[in-house]
Amino acid sequence: MSKNITIAVDAMGGDGSPKKIIDGIAHHNKNTKSIFYKIFGDKEKILSNLPSGLSKDVYEIFDTKNNVKGTDTPLEAAKRGKDTSMWLAIESVKNKKADAIISAGNTGALLVIAKLNLKMIENIDKPALSALWPNEKGMSVVLDLGANIECSDKNLIDFAVMGSSVFKSLYPNEIAKVALLNIGSEEMKGNEVIKETYQKLNRIKSSDYEFKGYIEGNNLMKGDVNVIVSDGFTGNIALKTAEGTANFITKELKKTFTNNIIGKLSGLINYFNFKKFKKRLDPRLYNGAIFIGLDSPVIKSHGATDYIGFSNSLSVCEKIVRGDLISKIKSNIA
């Protein structure tokens, strides 16, 4: 029998909140019966959006009218007070009242407030933002996606260890295969930091992952590796490029199948194939980035996603808690 897990939810972050947050909780609850949701936000607004089918036994509302705004700088968010929904949700994890915290709110604010409340795992200097990407053979963990613009070789090695731990928490029966995102596959390519990281990772003999060397951007989706490491500047550009390309392809295919009678007929014939293709590229299915390096799980849902995307973020919370991610990182980093 699955153990009960408590997730602290910032209900006021992101577009369309708190409705999409509550709808996401209700959708997630349909598929799991061992999660308790601590919901932080404006109680009146939350209650007005609660569906009748959601049992009162699976949630508790913590009323606060104050919340971090999407336009706040990280410093402004921290100064806004300790009674914001984001701060209180993180504090509940700090006080061991919840196993993980999730927010669709301001990314910079979430990282800063989390760092103010939670400790770093020993021997890790910087937290990283990691997320899941689809590939031809399954899924990849990619990090850092924007938390750290500049990284040292030690940071990148830490990211390799933490990314492998994330992958093994989510997919315990698969082997973590690590690669460094670079401008070429040859040893002499790249800047000094990435070349030094390559040499050190090559010398490390780890039972937790296999080091596969460099990977170029055009091979990210092949699936030969499943843990892709970079600094936050490069990783964020790669993420946004992949998202934009997926949206472009989906829109262009839709145009092709709707702009004339031949296209419409072709679209009708290939309807199920197109639907399957579109689902494969649906970013909602891969929603849920993880701030790793902190001593408690902090999950960031995309602010613009809908309730389906938020529900998938809740599933990420559940998987990494059940997979004992923090303990894996602590053991592997040592």
* Any domain includes 255: yes
Note whether 273 and 312 are same-domain residues. no
Same domain, 105 and 165: no
116 with 185, same domain: the answer is no
Q: Which domain holds residue 165?
A: 125-291
Report pLDDT digits (tens) over 221-278: 899 999 999 999 999 898 888 878 877 877 877 777 777 776 666 666 666 766 676 6
Q: Give the DSSP letter of residue 3.
A: P
Count of structural domains, the chain? 2
Query: Over the range 213-248, which residues count as b (16 or more CB within 10 Å of their CB) and which as e?
Result: ebbebebbeeeebbbbbbbbebbbebbeebeeebee
pLDDT in tens, 169-207: 888 889 999 999 999 888 778 889 999 999 999 998 887
Domain with residue 9: its CATH number is 3.40.718.10
pTM (2 decimals)? 0.86
Given this model, what pLDDT does residue 190 score?
A: 85
Give a yes or no: residue 179 inside a domain.
yes
Tokens of residue 97, six digits: 């009242």
Task: Tell me the average pLDDT across 115-124.
Answer: 93
Judgement on whether residues 152 and 283 belong to the same structural domain of the protein: yes
Indicate if 113 and 129 belong to the same structural domain: no
Does 329 map to a domain? no
| Residues 302 and 251 reside in one and the same domain | no
Give yes or no: residues 246 and 279 share one domain.
yes
- Residue 243 · residue 287 · CB < 8 Å: no
Residue whose C-alpha is closest to residue 103's, from 123, 85, 91:
85
- Residues linked to residue 84 through DSSP beta bridges, in sequence order: 66
CB atoms inside a 10 Å sphere around CB 126: 18
- Same structural domain for residues 135 and 279? yes
Residue 145 shares a structural domain with residue 283: yes
Q: Are residues 265 and 140 in the same domain?
A: yes
